[in-house]
């Protein structure tokens, strides 16, 4: 079983929903969680270094390519400031692949009981995906309080999340899908949003050109989006030289 008890962060995270023990929820590591598709594992380390240098320490590497496990492994070994997780986790076999590669957290676009059980058995923090109130309630029944909201824009966007907050204020989300610099601040201003996910800071043409300077600039702009929302709700980046501990808050996935 993977161990999620990792070193304490070197800087203070957002005051919102911080779990006990000095560990930090994935939702509180930075205002933006980059969603990365890596086609060539050789790109993984410079790409991750650029994201971390720009202020985005949490990185979701999607398990959509053959290179993804090696990319996760390489980032974990060579980029100490990164907290690398696995995304597009679709079943127990993906959980095994992610754990074997050294992923620090797990993200899925949706969930089943089999997937949730495997995520929990891994001991890693996880963000199972939801897009309806019923899915949120079903996860709450199972003790999960932190979730990915996907596909965010298509599923109702900020209006939907604002509506969920009334009856379900105990749940926090990472909305992902169709979010960019223009609409991210509106999401981040919601009390039930910890961070937003997105791929805009890793454009395909920048990766193809290995233009890591551009990725770093876009990451820096994304990290600064947390500064545009009220400080009481804004997640602030906890980028450090050493990767912070991450844990699910509220007993999620365990």
- The CA–CA distances, whole Å, from 160 to 104, 165, 191, 193 equal 29, 9, 13, 12
Q: How many CB atoms lie within 10 A of CB 183?
A: 17
**Which tokens hold the place of 249?**
């808050």
Q: Please check whether residue 249 is in contact with residue 81, taking contact to mean a CB–CB distance below 8 angstroms.
A: no
Please list every residue from 153 through 182 that binds ligand 3PG, using CB under 6 A.
176-179
Please list every residue from 187 through 206 that binds ligand 3PG, using CB under 6 A.
197-200
Show the site string, 98-117: x = touches ligand 3PG by CB under 6 A, - = not: --------------------
Task: Kindly report the length of the chain.
Answer: 254
Instruction: State the minimum distance, in angstroms, from the CB of residue 199 to ligand 3PG.
Output: 4
Q: Which is closer to ligand 3PG, CB of 9 or CB of 31?
A: 31
221 noted as active-site residue = no
148 noted as active-site residue = yes
Q: Which is closer to ligand 3PG, CB of 8 or CB of 112?
A: 112
Kindly name the residue from 135, 146, 148, 221 that is annotated as catalytic.
148
Q: How far apart are CA 141 and CA 1, in angstroms?
A: 24
Instruction: State the minimum distance, in angstroms, from the CB of residue 237 to ligand 3PG.
Output: 19
Instruction: State the minimum distance, in angstroms, from the CB of residue 40 to ligand 3PG.
Output: 18
Instruction: State the minimum distance, in angstroms, from the CB of residue 80 to ligand 3PG.
Output: 26
Q: How far apart are CA 74 and CA 80, in angstroms?
A: 11
Please list every residue from 129 through 148 that binds ligand 3PG, using CB under 6 A.
none
Q: How far apart are CA 204 and CA 202, in angstroms?
A: 6
Instruction: State the minimum distance, in angstroms, from the CB of residue 225 to ligand 3PG.
Output: 14
Q: How far apart are CA 37 and CA 55, in angstroms?
A: 19
Q: Which is closer to ligand 3PG, CB of 198 or CB of 248?
A: 198
Give 162-184 as a DSSP string: HHHHTT-TT-EEEEBSS--TTTH
With tokens 């899908």, the residue in question is 177
- The CA–CA distances, whole Å, from 139 to 131, 168, 211 equal 12, 12, 40
Binding of ligand 3PG at residue 65 (CB under 6 A)?
A: no
Binding of ligand 3PG at residue 215 (CB under 6 A)?
A: no
Q: How far apart are CA 222 and CA 218, in angstroms?
A: 6
DSSP state of 46: H
Show the site string, 10-49: x = touches ligand 3PG by CB under 6 A, - = not: -------------------------x--------------
Catalytic residue annotation: 60, 148
Q: Which residues bind ligand 3PG (CB under 6 A)?
A: 35, 150, 176-179, 197-200
């Amino acid at each position: 079983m993977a161990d999620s008890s990792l070193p304490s962060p070197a800087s203070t995270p957002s005051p919102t929903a911080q779990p006990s023990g000095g560990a930090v929820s994935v939702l509180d590591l930075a205002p933006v969680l980059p969603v990365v598709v890596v086609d060539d594992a050789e790109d993984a380390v410079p790409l991750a270094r650029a994201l971390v240098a720009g202020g985005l320490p949490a990185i979701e590497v999607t398990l959509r390519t053959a290179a993804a496990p090696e990319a996760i492994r390489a980032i974990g070994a060579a980029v100490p400031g990164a907290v690398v997780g696995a995304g597009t986790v679709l079943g127990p076999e993906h959980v095994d692949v992610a754990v074997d590669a050294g992923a620090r957290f797990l993200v899925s676009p949706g969930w089943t009981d089999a997937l949730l059980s495997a995520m929990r058995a891994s001991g890693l923090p996880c963000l199972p995906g939801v897009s309806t109130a019923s899915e949120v309630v079903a996860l709450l029944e199972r003790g999960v309080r932190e979730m990915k909201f996907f596909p965010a824009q298509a599923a109702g966007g900020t209006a939907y999340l604002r509506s969920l907050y009334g009856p379900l204020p105990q749940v926090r989300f990472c909305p992902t899908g169709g979010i960019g610099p223009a609409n991210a601040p509106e999401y981040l201003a919601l009390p039930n949003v910890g961070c937003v996910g997105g791929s805009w800071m890793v454009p395909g043409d920048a990766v193809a050109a290995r233009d890591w300077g551009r990725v770093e600039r876009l990451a820096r702009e994304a990290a600064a989006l947390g500064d545009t929302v009220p400080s009481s709700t804004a997640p602030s980046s906890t980028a450090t030289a050493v990767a912070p501990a991450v844990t699910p808050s509220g007993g999620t996935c365990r």
